[in-house]
């Protein structure tokens, strides 16, 4: 039986919690499952609506103006980008990032039992944003099938070659090695890398052990994305949700949603 904190689903494991949040048998679909298993990433259909896209953009613009240079400080800042973090507490718009049934079904396929680790945003500034190939798990590389993290990327702008689209190395989540261990220069192009090109309003789910990284934004505008990051239950969260959860956040969320946050 999964141990839960006060305020979570009483005597509920992740299976019951997901059912209460609308996850149904067959989600997220066999094609998505195949891509997650083989490539380490897949697009999730029928989640991200135009209304959500505009709501995300508007809220993040207000937060960026209000927080300025402090933006992202709860988790970490990155030169050449605008970051915001602790978004669970900064707008009801972001609740879908950890309650969408299709998304949670995909996360459960990768991690089994899990919690939300963080919801944050990243905007690569003009002329900036190139990252080393990296994985989103810094601990010991697991055996295939015993994954520790996964991430989702909500595209707030078109991802095109010119504006810093993310590069991925398909299948690298199964290699059991971190890129900084295996590569002489993780910043350099990889012979097997692909650019993830897709329109604004696309939702990408990817294994946290997949090698990936942003590329340089060669346009005059920021390239924006929202990230909801999950980890296997029992691992430290990127942002301690119980510590940061505001009273109004706890009050608005269902017991099932609070279980996902582990609060």
Structural domain includes residue 251: yes
The CATH number of whichever domain residue 253 belongs to comes to: 2.60.120.620
Structural domain includes residue 5: no
Tens-digit pLDDT string for the chain (263 aa): 222 333 333 345 999 999 999 999 999 999 999 999 999 999 999 999 999 999 999 999 999 999 999 999 999 999 999 999 999 999 999 999 999 999 999 999 999 999 999 999 999 999 999 999 999 998 777 777 899 999 999 999 999 999 999 999 999 999 999 999 999 999 999 999 999 999 999 999 999 999 999 999 999 999 999 999 999 999 999 999 999 999 999 999 999 999 999 99
SS3 labels along the chain: CCCCCCCCCCCCCHHHHHHHCCCCCCCCCHHHHHHHHHCCEEECCCCCCHHHHHHHHHHHHHHHHHHHHHCCCCCCCCCCEEEECCHHHCCHHHHHHHCCHHHHHHHHHHHCCEEEEEEEEEEECCCCCCCCCECCCCCCCCCCCCCCEEEEEEECCCECCCECCCEECCCHHHCCCCHHHHCCCCCCCCCCCEECCECCCCEEEEECCCCEECCCECCCCCEEEEEEEEEEECECCCCCHHHHCCHHHHHHCCHHHHHHHCC
Structural domain includes residue 125: yes
Structural domain includes residue 4: no
Structural domain includes residue 2: no
Q: What is the pTM of this model?
A: 0.93
Structural domain includes residue 85: yes
| Domains contained in the chain, number | 1
Structural domain includes residue 9: no
- Domain coverage including residue 213: 14-67+75-261
Structural domain includes residue 139: yes
């Amino acid at each position: 039986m999964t141990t839960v904190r006060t305020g979570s689903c009483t005597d509920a494991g992740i299976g019951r919690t997901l059912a209460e949040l609308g996850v149904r048998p067959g989600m997220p679909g066999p094609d998505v499952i195949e891509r997650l298993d083989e490539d380490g990433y897949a697009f999730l259909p029928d989640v991200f609506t135009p209304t959500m896209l505009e709501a995300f953009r508007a809220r993040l613009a207000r937060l960026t103006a209000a927080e300025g240079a402090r933006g992202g400080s709860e988790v970490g800042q990155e030169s050449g980008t605008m970051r915001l973090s602790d978004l669970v507490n900064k707008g009801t718009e972001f609740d879908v990032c950890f309650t969408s049934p299709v998304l949670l079904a995909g996360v459960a396929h990768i991690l089994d039992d899990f919690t939300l680790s963080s919801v944050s945003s990243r905007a690569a500034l003009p002329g900036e944003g190139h990252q080393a190939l990296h994985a989103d798990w810094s601990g010991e590389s697991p055996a295939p099938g015993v994954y520790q993290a996964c991430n989702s990327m909500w595209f707030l702008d078109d991802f095109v070659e010119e504006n810093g689209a993310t590069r991925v190395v398909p299948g690298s989540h199964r290699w059991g090695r971190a890129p900084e261990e295996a590569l002489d220069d993780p910043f350099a192009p990889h012979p097997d890398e692909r650019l993830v090109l897709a329109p604004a309003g696309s939702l990408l789910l990817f294994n946290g052990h997949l090698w990936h990284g942003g590329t340089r934004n060669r346009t005059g505008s920021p390239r924006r994305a929202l990230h909801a990051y999950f980890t296997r239950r029992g691992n430290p969260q990127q942002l301690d949700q119980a510590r940061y959860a505001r009273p109004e956040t706890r009050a608005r969320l269902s017991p099932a949603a609070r279980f996902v946050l582990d609060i």
